[in-house]
Amino acid sequence: GENVEQHPSTLSVQEGDSAVIKCTYSDSASNYFPWYKQELGKRPQLIIDIRSNVGEKKDQRIAVTLNKTAKHFSLHITETQPEDSAVYFCAAISPGGGNKLTFGTGTQLKVEL
């Protein structure tokens, strides 16, 4: 089955700096890669996703890039703000997996003032 690795496990940045979180996946057939943000005590919230036919996608301060050859994808947050502080999870879906999400281990992002 699919295996997703995520780095780093913790990330601390100064407000206004950029943050990058990286994930690798094992199944070359995987075709959908979402990113979730989970604030303390809250549900995971879908913030951006990318499909395998696209190399990059942006939504205001967040962007995701996908390198199918290397089987890795990254989340980029620019001009970070304190409200960006949360745990971020990457995930992947492989076509043969029945639409199930395989999650990375999560990245605790802390944006410091």
Partner 1 sequence: SAVISQKPSRDICQRGTSLTIQCQVDSQVTMMFWYRQQPGQSLTLIATANQGSEATYESGFVIDKFPISRPNLTFSTLTVSNMSPEDSSIYLCSVDPTHSNEQFFGPGTRLTVL
For tokens 């780095």, name the residue.
7
Pick one of 19, 21, 27, 34: the residue that binds partner 1 (CB under 8 A): 34
CA distance 39 to 42: 5
The reply to whether 104 sits near partner 1 by the rule CB under 8 A is yes
Residue by residue, what is the 3-state secondary structure of the chain?
Answer: CCCEEEECCEEEEECCCCEEEEEEECCCCCCEEEEEEECCCCCCEEEEEEECCCCEEEECCEEEEEECCCCEEEEEECCCCHHHCEEEEEEEECHHHCCCCEECCCEEEEEEC
Please, which residue, 50 or 81, has the CB nearer to partner 1? 50
Applying the rule CB under 8 A, the residues between 55 and 94 that interact with partner 1 are 89, 93
Please, which residue, 42 or 61, has the CB nearer to partner 1? 42
Question: Length of the chain in residues, anyone?
Answer: 113
Q: With CB under 8 A as the rule, give the number of residues binding partner 1.
A: 20
The reply to whether 32 sits near partner 1 by the rule CB under 8 A is yes
CB of 13 to partner 1, least distance (A): 21
Segment near partner 1 (CB under 8 A); pick from 16-24, 54-62, 73-81, 102-110: 102-110
Provide the binding-site residues for partner 1, judged by CB under 8 A. 32, 34, 36, 42-46, 49, 89, 93, 98-106
